[in-house]
């Protein structure tokens, strides 16, 4: 009953008009007056931000803020994957033989997530990890490894919340929201699916790097609202590091998996 009610309410409020309204509010000049309250609410450390508070033109400008370089050291070992975002580790584990994995008790099918059965089969019996970015987090996205971009494509139309309520009661938002899929080829020809998932009614995932050669830690894009990143790995190619714990925070640049 709760699930059906939640889904109906979200459907009623999720449309082009609500999306445009949210973006208009966040980008309005007057929204800069909200920034001090936003910082206080989410306890944001301005010392690591590259601009002073008064230099931000609007709330969106602050939300997509850049950090000073030394704020996020990048794991240097070339055979270690670094977190692409500041986030909470929502879920991780093995992809099942039928090409599904569980988040909040909901099964997600790889072919739905990737939009292609052949590409999905590549990650059968592999591993997955889900990073959830809250409104408090730094929202720039960085490359998790040195690699070659094999392809990039978008899927989905609308974006539903990917917070705790959304993951629990929503219609599988991770595999049905608007999303940008990047397929990378890392060292030893390992293939990695790097999926950026939009959220909160706004399909805003902006690419800032359109090259085909990515360096670990290099900025590649940003989210405009709270969002999610999913990474998929082929069978027997990685082992998660000890700091990967469900519900624990992780910062961009920190190690989360070793290549095998």
What are the residue numbers of the active site?
Answer: 86, 142, 227
**Checking phi first, is residue 138 left (phi over 0); if not, alpha (psi -120 to 50) or beta?**
beta
Copy the structure tokens of residue 171: 């219609």
Count of all residues that appear for the chain in the document = 260
Tell me the longest C-alpha to C-alpha distance in the chain: 53
CA distances from 156 to 122, 186, 212, 244 (A): 21, 26, 23, 29
Copy the structure tokens of residue 55: 């230099």
Phi, psi of 90 (to 5 degrees): -75, -40
Q: Per-residue DSSP letters for 192-257?
A: EEEEEE-BTTB--EEES---SEE-TT-EEEEESSSEEEEEEE-TTSEEE-TT--TT-EE-TT-EEE
Q: Give the CB-side neighbour count of residue 258, counting CA atoms within 13 A.
A: 5
CA distances from 112 to 4, 118, 155, 187 (A): 21, 12, 10, 27
């Amino acid at each position: 009953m709760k699930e059906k009610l939640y889904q109906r309410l979200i459907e009623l409020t999720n449309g082009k008009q609500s999306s445009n309204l949210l973006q208009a509010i966040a980008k309005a000049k007057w929204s800069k007056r909200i920034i001090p309250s936003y910082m206080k609410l989410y306890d944001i450390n301005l010392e690591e931000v590259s601009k002073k508070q008064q230099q931000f033109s609007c709330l969106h400008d602050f939300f997509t803020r850049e950090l000073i370089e030394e704020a996020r050291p990048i794991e240097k070992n070339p055979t270690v994957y670094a977190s692409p975002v500041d986030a909470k580790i929502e879920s991780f584990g093995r992809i099942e033989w039928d090409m599904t994995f569980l988040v909040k008790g909901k099964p997600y099918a790889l072919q739905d997530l990737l939009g292609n059965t052949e590409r999905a089969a590549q990650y059968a019996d592999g591993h997955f990890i889900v990073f959830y970015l809250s409104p408090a987090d730094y929202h720039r996205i960085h490359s998790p490894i040195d690699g070659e971009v094999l392809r990039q494509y978008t899927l989905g139309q609308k974006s539903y919340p990917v917070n705790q309520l959304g993951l629990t009661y929503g219609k599988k938002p991770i595999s049905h929201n608007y999303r940008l899929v990047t397929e990378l080829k890392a060292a030893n020809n390992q293939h990695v699916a790097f999926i950026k998932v939009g959220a909160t009614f706004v399909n805003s995932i902006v690419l800032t790097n359109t090259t085909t050669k990515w360096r670990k830690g290099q900025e590649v894009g940003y989210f405009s609202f709270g969002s999610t990143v999913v990474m998929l790995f082929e069978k027997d190619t990685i082992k998660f590091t000890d700091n990967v714990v469900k519900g624990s925070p992780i910062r961009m640049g920190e190690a989360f998996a070793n290549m095998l």
